[in-house]
A and B are shown apart, each in its own frame.
Chain A
Amino acid sequence: RKEVEQDPGPFNVPEGATVAFNCTYSNSASQSFFWYRQDCRKEPKLLMSVYSSGNEDGRFTAQLNRASQYISLLIRDSKLSDSATYLCVVNPADRGSTLGRLYFGRGTQLTVWP
């Protein structure tokens, strides 16, 4: 079983739409969770961390459900500039390392059209 499984998409939505991405992880001891964004032919960049209580950053809301080992990202009022691949990322706690031993999902591709 893969460490991180993501809804593969692609998602094609009009401007202004609300879109949600889902992700599940296999290691129940995982401690920290993130969403990264990768534009076409560019490097991944941190979008936001995901906290147990859920967190919001402008139009973006991330939620974590530890019981179901499930992470989500909600984008409201989509903009053309939101078109990218969104990567679900998990830091497993059992590696014993506090460095970047991150597991990446394959990513979900989003295209926002005018």
Chain B
Amino acid sequence: ETGVTQTPRHLVMGMTNKKSLKCEQHLGHNAMYWYKQSAKKPLELMFVYNFKEQTENNSVPSRFSPECPNSSHLFLHLHTLQPEDSALYLCASSQKGGGTYTGELFFGEGSRLTVL
């Protein structure tokens, strides 16, 4: 079993649909992230949560709405998306300890989203 689990693995939705991506980490980490990976582009950070509090929103459009009910679960709610939002959405977690960060993010396998 992987440390970070994402569901669904694949999602196809129309522009008027509402759907959610789910992420769960079993590593006891205190920080969780959403990243977007588009073809031919670098990974883009979307949101950061530290102990359930959102600490970063990287200018993400409001059609993406994150939710972090506890330090083990993270959701990304999707509504009225555009075809250009089609991408691989990666959840990650990390452990922040003693004021330093090791640089190791543990990623889930991703949710591949296609917007028609």
B61 in contact (CB, < 8 A): no
Is A100's CB under 8 angstroms from B94's CB?
A: yes
Is B55 touching A99 in the complex (CB atoms < 8 A)? yes
- Cβ contact within 8 Å between A107 and B42: yes
Residues of A33-58 contacting chain B, CB below 8 A:
34, 42-46, 49
Residues 87-116 of B at the A interface (beta carbon under 8 Å): 90, 92, 94, 96, 99-105, 107-110
Total chain B interface residues with beta-carbon distance under 8 A: 26
Nearest CB of A to B113, in Å? 14
Chain B residues near A106 (CB, 8 Å)?
40-42
Total number of residue pairs linking A and B with CB closer than 8 Å: 65
Separation in Å of the B37 CB from the closest CB of chain A?
Answer: 9
Structural contact, B42 and A100, CB atoms closer than 8 A: no
Given contacts A43-B109, A45-B107, are A99 and B43 in contact (CB under 8 A)?
no
> Contacts A43-B90, A43-B109, A46-B103 given: A101-B56 contact, CB under 8 Å?
yes
Chain B residues with CB under 8 Å of A49's CB are 102-103
A4 touches B105 (CB 8 A): no
Given contact pairs A43-B107, A43-B108, A45-B107, A98 touches B101 in the complex (Cβ within 8 A): yes
Q: Are A100 and B33 in contact (CB under 8 A)?
A: yes
Does B74 belong to the interface (CB within 8 Å)? no
Listed in ascending order, the chain B residues whose CB lies under 8 Å from chain A are: 31, 33, 40-43, 45, 48, 50, 55-56, 90, 92, 94, 96, 99-105, 107-110
- Residues of A participating in the B interface, judged by any CB pair closer than 8 Å: 2, 4, 32, 34, 42-46, 49, 87, 89, 91, 97-107
